[in-house]
Amino acid sequence: MNRQLLLQVCNAPGTSGFENAAQEVAAETLAGCCDEVRRDALGNVIGFRKAGARARRGKTPLRVMLAAHADEVGMMVKHINAKGLLHFIPLGGLSPAVAQSQRVIIHGREPVRGAIVPKINGEDVKPPALGDLLIDTGLPKEEIEKLVQPGDSITFENDVSLLNGKMWVGRNFDDRIGLYCLLEAMRTVGRTAADVYAVSTVQEEVGLRGARPAAFGVAPDIGIAIDGSMARGAYVDDHQNLCEPGRGTGIYVIDNLTIGHPGLVRYLCEMCEKHGIPYQRNIGGGTDASAIQQSRAGVIATTVGAPVRYMHSTVQLCHADDMDATVALLVKFMETAHEFMAKLPKR
Ligand SMILES: [Zn+2]
């Protein structure tokens, strides 16, 4: 794995709608390995790699779109109260049980550290509503008002680190692990017979808002989203989450928003077997694949990605071997997508 890139990708702050720092990492990395990189009106970063000349002769190359989302679950300042404490709203699916007692960074005129202070009532263990929680920066009202205003974005402070062995921990592995795998695959893949569009999308966590226009603009024949697969961990039974960390990348058969194209799912599994890439079948939550699949007149699509434990928490876990397997699968897919398409039965 590429530690330096992983750290760069995961430590850039970027809640939904405020992905700029993460998108700069994506754009810079793609600039080193793509023929063209552009940003659309929503902020999606689109890296384009032209098909190799050999395959282009005589016909239009296949268009492959690979998409990972750059946004992470976070918050936004709503109101500064009389004591200088901040009310906030969530950006993406955030539980108060996760938010309470976490350290945060408010991206104001300059970054300001703060803590979401617990609202504990005696022995009461039931978490309060998000709207009742407050951020304490330790600064007096007059001072905080000079630095912060309603509408500023807030991220959790937890940077990425190696937990133990090959298991990493971070606040935003959904979906920065996906973005890391996409960028690393683009860096390592050779010339392909397909035109490849690597897209770092925005605003996935608030309803796939970036992938929709990105897919419309790219107009792909095949789309693959890269996102976390549902990993087994504490508090979940084996039948709830199918993927075991350390045992390979997840290939989505279905999630709440997409039924993966059966031919594509089969092809991805067969390719993993052929090339000795460890993989697991996944039943997932919902990803950018849905927006890609339903774009224009419909697109062949599914999702792949390393299993991530405790998504939408500040302590998400992911195994390095699964990141490597995801990168290997993406590279092999880019190299052979034209073969898959040529053999695709009409249906
Ligand atoms: Zn995600």
DSSP secondary structure string for all residues of 34-89? -SEEEE-TT--EEEEEPPPHHHHTTSPPPEEEEEEE--B-EEEEEEE-TTS-EEEE
d(CA 321, CA 298): 33
Please tell me the distance between residue 101's alpha carbon and the centre of ligand 1 in angstroms.
Answer: 23
d(CA 254, CA 258): 6
Please tell me the distance between residue 172's alpha carbon and the centre of ligand 1 in angstroms.
Answer: 9
d(CA 224, CA 87): 38
Say if residues 5 and 14 touch (Cβ distance below 8 Å): no
Question: How much of the chain, in percent, has pLDDT values that exceed 90?
Answer: 93
pLDDT tens, 152-195? Answer: 999 999 999 999 999 999 999 999 999 999 999 999 999 999 99
Q: Which long-range contacts (CB under 8 A, 24 or more apart) does 333-336 make?
A: 333/64, 333/224, 333/268, 333/271, 334/64, 334/66, 334/185, 334/189, 334/192, 334/194, 334/196, 335/189, 335/190, 335/192, 335/193, 336/271
Please tell me the distance between residue 228's alpha carbon and the centre of ligand 1 in angstroms.
Answer: 6
pLDDT tens, 284-298? Answer: 999 999 999 999 999
| Contacts of residue 87, Cβ cutoff 8 Å, sequence gap at least 6 | 77, 78, 79, 80, 81, 131, 134
Please tell me the distance between residue 47's alpha carbon and the centre of ligand 1 in angstroms.
Answer: 20
Q: Which of 205, 213, 196, 229 is nearest to 292 (CA)?
A: 213
pLDDT tens, 298-340? Answer: 999 999 999 999 999 999 999 999 999 999 999 999 999 999 9
> Looking up tokens 């298991």, which residue turns up?
167
pLDDT bucket at 275, cuts 50 / 70 / 90? very high
Q: The tokens of 195 are what?
A: 């035109």
SS3 155: strand
If one compares 199 and 59, the residue with the highest pLDDT of the two is 199
Residue 272: count other Cβ atoms within 10 Å of its Cβ. Answer: 22
For the chain, the straight-line distance linking the first and the last C-alpha, in angstroms and rounded, comes to 39
d(CA 222, CA 40): 20
d(CA 96, CA 330): 36
d(CA 228, CA 217): 25
281 exposed, middle or buried (CB, 10 Å; 0-12, 13-18, 19+)?
A: middle
Residue 258 confidence (pLDDT):
98
Please tell me the distance between residue 131's alpha carbon and the centre of ligand 1 in angstroms.
Answer: 24
Please tell me the distance between residue 226's alpha carbon and the centre of ligand 1 in angstroms.
Answer: 8
Please tell me the distance between residue 296's alpha carbon and the centre of ligand 1 in angstroms.
Answer: 23
pLDDT bucket at 107, cuts 50 / 70 / 90? very high
Q: What domains does the chain contain, in order, with CATH numbers? A: 3-72+172-343 (3.40.630.10), 74-156 (2.40.30.40)
> In this model, does residue 346 exceed pLDDT 70?
no
Prediction pTM value: 0.97
pLDDT bucket at 123, cuts 50 / 70 / 90? confident
Mean pLDDT of the residues in the chain = 96
> Within 119-193, where are the H helices?
141-147, 173-188
Say if residues 228 and 173 touch (Cβ distance below 8 Å): yes
Residue 343 confidence (pLDDT):
87
* C-alpha distances out from residue 26 to 10, 68, 127, 159, 180, Å: 11, 10, 37, 18, 9
Please tell me the distance between residue 204's alpha carbon and the centre of ligand 1 in angstroms.
Answer: 7
d(CA 18, CA 170): 19
Catalytic residue among 204, 205, 270, 339: 204
Question: What number is the average pLDDT over the span 107-126?
Answer: 88
d(CA 153, CA 76): 4
Residue 24 is a catalytic residue = no
d(CA 154, CA 107): 6
d(CA 135, CA 235): 29
Residue 179 confidence (pLDDT):
98
Say if residues 75 and 133 touch (Cβ distance below 8 Å): no
Please tell me the distance between residue 142's alpha carbon and the centre of ligand 1 in angstroms.
Answer: 38
pLDDT bucket at 244, cuts 50 / 70 / 90? very high
